[in-house]
Every structure is written in C-alpha cells, then in structure tokens.
A and B are shown apart, each in its own frame.
Chain A
C-alpha cells in the first residue's frame, strides 16, 4: 500500500514569506501529526489533526498552523518565515494517533530553508 507522501521535498523561501507543506497519510489513517526537527534537537511536536479537527498542539507560535481535509490529507502553513524556521518537517500518519498505542508511519519530510 502507498506510504505517507509529503510535498514538496525541498523548499527555499525568503524571510517574511509564507509556506504551505502537504502530507497525504496512508489510506484509512485518520490522524496526521506534524513534527519539526532542527540540528541538535529531537523531533518537536507541532500539532495533530484527527478527523479534520486539531486534537493537540505543541508549544509553537501562532505563525504555525494547519488543517486537515475530509480525505485526511493535511497541510501545515508557516507565515512570516524566520531564519530559525529552517528545519526538516515530518508528518506522521496513524490509525488513531494520540498518545500512540498504534504505530506511526512517517513521510520522507520537507526540508525548508529560509534565507
């Protein structure tokens, strides 16, 4: 079966711009979680969407937002980009998500560079 698809794979943006990243989960999975990874840091939780509703949110500024569509595809948006937003953004698909009694399947990530 198809895995988790993230687009685009690489992105270069200028400070102050906004960006939208996309994640298509495994068919039948209703949960999509987003994580940010920067050098020296573990995966930092951004938010989780389940059945089109944001179920949980990490400690990130309001510039980071997301949404989920009826087909479970999810997008995350970052407005007014800062240099510190340069990172690898991973999404993870899960049947029920949450605290994780079911495994997560990760996409390949989007590498965002802000210049």
Chain B
C-alpha cells in the first residue's frame, strides 16, 4: 500500500513567522508531486506541480522543493499572514496511475 505522510499534522504560528512542512512519499515509480491549499468552506486550490528531482517552485511567499531520490518535499511559507491559514495537502502521482493524498498539515496563523 502506497503511503503519503505529512508532518506536522497541525501548526500554530504568529503572523510574520516563517514556517515549513514536510511531505514524504514513495521514492520509486515517481511521476509528480502536487501541493494544494484548502481553506475552510472552499475547494482545494493547486499551488504547485513538480515533476523533476531538485525542482524548486515559488509563488509569492510560498515555495516548495522536491527530492524524488529520498522521497520528500518541503513547503515553505515566508512571513506567514492570517490569510495563509488553511490545510496544505500534498499528493503523490506514481505508476499506480492516480494521485494519492496525504492527510494534510493544518496551519493557523494568529494576528
């Protein structure tokens, strides 16, 4: 059974703090790694799709890195803002042919 693990499960930070979360996935038969942001009462919103080992993606204050050889990806948020409060999901795409999601990291940013 393929497993995607995210840590920590939840995180509480103050406005202005920088933070990062981890996604661990199988290191074989890799096709893609996705990150999504899921705000309460909304749909999951795609942040990044990464396909190559060593990929680094950036969108504003949010960035992500990928290591397919060891099976992990980091998501970084610089200078967290209250509007960054959401659950961040990662999803592994491999030879199984579909995306397998982790349970997410719930981020709360206090003003």
Contacts and interface: CB of A to CB of B under 8 A. Distances in A.
Q: Which of A56, A105, A106 counts the most B-chain CB atoms under 10 A from its CB? A: A106
Interface residues of B, number: 26
A48 B97 CA distance: 9
Given A99-B93, A99-B95, A45 B44 contact: no
Interface stretch (A14-22, A35-43, A76-84): A35-43
Contacts of B45: 106
Given A45-B98, A101-B51, A106 B93 contact: no
A48 B4 CA distance: 19
B43 A99 contact: no
A63 interface: no
A26 interface: no
Interface of A: 3-4, 33, 35, 40-43, 45, 48, 55-56, 58, 90, 97-109
Given A42-B102, A45-B99, A100 B43 contact: no
Contacts, number: 73
Contacts of A101: 31-32, 49, 51, 93
Nearest to B97: A56
B44 to A, nearest CB: 5
Interface of B: 4, 31-32, 34, 36, 42-46, 49, 51, 89, 91, 93-104
Contacts of B44: 90, 106
B42 A42 contact: no
> Considering residues B4, B96, B102, which has the most beta carbons from chain A within 10 angstroms of its beta carbon?
B96
A58 B2 CA distance: 12
Given A104-B46, A108-B42, A42 B96 contact: no
A57 B102 CA distance: 18
A42 B88 CA distance: 11
Contact of B97 (A35, A41, A99, A104): A99
